Amino acid sequence: MENSILNKLPFDPVFLLIGLGAVWIVVLVLVIILWVKTRKMYRRYDTFMRGRDATTLEDHIMDQMAEIADLKDKDKINREDIRSLNKQVWTAYQKFGMVKYNAFKGMGGNLSFAFAILNANNTGFILNAVHSRDGCYMYMKLVDKGQTDIVLGNEEREALEQALGY
């Protein structure tokens, strides 16, 4: 073994064996550390996929999807209800104006009145109740977009202006 390659090295071959042994120990330690980390990650992955309460991630996602679909249906119903309510609000009477007055001097008291009732489009009617000694007479005049075809009295015009917000 005189021609061995180990004899031609400028250092003792035992140092080479010690160095290789040290590298082997470092590699072994790294393999063990990586194996422990892999086991830990596998356990976390398994817990994540199975869930803590024996429900899988797929079951959880499917439950969430069903809940989202239910919420979409409820949202659609709510939107239809809001549209319906908006239509009702626009046609509901919401503007009012009232003027009390004395139709006939000397009768005593303001027993007559003009009452204007309008919706959001300023369409509605004016009620005029005239109280006299013979009885009470009520007249109605239609209002379309804030205008009437019939000439209004002072009290009726004032009630209409109150309802319009002037």
Rg over CA atoms, the chain: 47
Nearest residue to 111 via CA among 145, 83, 140, 138: 138
How far is residue 11's CA from residue 158's CA, in Å, rounded to a whole number?
119
Residue 81 Ramachandran class (φ > 0 left, ψ -120 to 50 alpha, else beta)? alpha
Mean pLDDT, rounded, for 21-45: 95
Residue 24 has pLDDT above 90, yes or no: yes
The number of angstroms, rounded, from the C-alpha of 15 to the middle of its chain's C-alpha atoms is 75
Work out the pLDDT band at 51, boundaries 50, 70, 90.
Answer: low
Mean pLDDT, rounded, for 40-58: 77
Q: Convert the pLDDT of each residue in 61-86 to its tens digit.
A: 888 999 999 999 999 999 999 999 98
* Cβ contacts of 94-98, under 8 Å, gap ≥ 24: 94/118, 94/119, 94/120, 95/119, 95/120, 95/122, 95/124, 95/163, 95/164, 95/165, 96/162, 96/163, 97/158, 97/159, 97/160, 97/161, 97/162, 97/163, 97/164, 98/159, 98/162
SS (H, E, C) 82-97: HHHHHHHHHHCCCEEE
Phi/psi for 25 (5° steps) reads: -65, -45
Q: Which residue has the higher pLDDT, 5 or 1?
A: 5
pLDDT of residue 64: 92
Please give the model's pTM, rounded to 2 decimal places.
0.52
Nearest residue to 143 via CA among 163, 48, 155, 133: 163
